[in-house]
Amino acid sequence: MLKWLHLNKKAQFFIISMIIIVAVLIGIQSLFAGYSEVGLSKPFSSQEDFWFWNIKDQVTRSLKERSCPELEADFTEIKIVTEDYLARKGIEFNITNTTPICDGSSRHIPTMIFMNMTSVNTNLHEEFTVP
């Protein structure tokens, strides 16, 4: 009988110890739970960055891939569409070519482009040359 009581006390100690250990682990996990959460709003807080670099990429591609007679009109259309779209979102955007896109013989020449984006969250500007 004594042996049975002794085993029973060991089992109780084991169960109580496991409950305490699990409670401590749950407490530690709840302390660090905030660090492992995925912030779903984070990508949208830097959406202006995405738009800015995407517009730069599209302008660069357009100027490299298109031929010169339509190139001036294409750039003007990109300018109007992007500035209007971003203005409706409350973002001030300006894109200008600081040098001509085509020379007199309808050849594409290296063109300097200036872009500026200003919003509540960011102020980005870049001047780059498209060969």
Pair of tokens at residue 6: 């002794």
Task: Tell me the per-residue pLDDT of 6-42, one tens digit each, with 9 for 90 and over.
Answer: 667 777 888 899 999 999 999 898 888 777 666 655 5
Give pLDDT, residue 34.
Answer: 72
pLDDT band at 87 (very low <50, low <70, confident <90, very high): very high
Strands 92-97 and 111-118, bridge-based pairing: antiparallel
Torsion angle of the four alpha carbons 127, 129, 130, 131, in this order, in degrees rounded to the nearest 10: 180
The angle at the Cα of 70, spanning 67 to 74, to the nearest 5 degrees, equals 110
Half-sphere exposure in the Cβ direction for 9 (13 Å, CA): 6
**What does pTM read for this prediction?**
0.61
Give pLDDT tens digits for 96-115: 988 888 877 667 788 899 99
- Provide the β-strand partners of residue 94: 116
